[in-house]
Amino acid sequence: MGDTPEGSSRASWDEYFMNIARVIATRATCARKHVGAVIVRDRTILSTGYNGSIRGTPHCDDAGHMMEDGHCVRTIHAEINAVIQAAKNGTSIDGGAIYVTASPCWNCFKAIANAGIRRVVFGEFYRDDRIFQVAETLGIELVDLSGRG
């Protein structure tokens, strides 16, 4: 899915959708980490999300962070917001792929897996190695675009 001809200046599909996820991340409302996500199937965008507060409540950037165990818990993560947006709009994401600027935390990964996402493409590794073993067990493809290894 992510390949382009050698020497081409045209973005691969993976680069294209990750670039969109990066733009989506600019809407995030928690300055501790801006994350964006886009859910795709058949090269068509189904849903997007960014990390932000519960709809109708103050944003971290305005009201301050709600810290618990070193993490801000005021926000809903980008991946969950993308899954919620799809559900709210009646869009099936089963069999799709999610592009996210940072690898999913454990809770987001569990939701992604149960939503039927078959491919997770991330721009940087963020915090939770458990996703690798479980993804392999479930047959979920993980793609690291960070170039870290």
For residues 85 and 78, the answer to whether their CB atoms sit within 8 Å is: no
Decide the pairing of beta strands 71-72 and 67-68: antiparallel
How does pLDDT run across 3-12, given as a tens digit for each residue? Answer: 655 667 899 9
pLDDT of 74 reads 86
Enumerate residue ranges in the chain where pLDDT < 50: none
pLDDT of 32 reads 87
Active site residues: 79
pLDDT of 5 reads 58
Both tokens assigned to 86: 């799809």
Cα dihedral: 108, 113, 114, 116 (round 10) = 130
- Closest by CA to 92, choosing from 110, 113, 109, 117, is 117
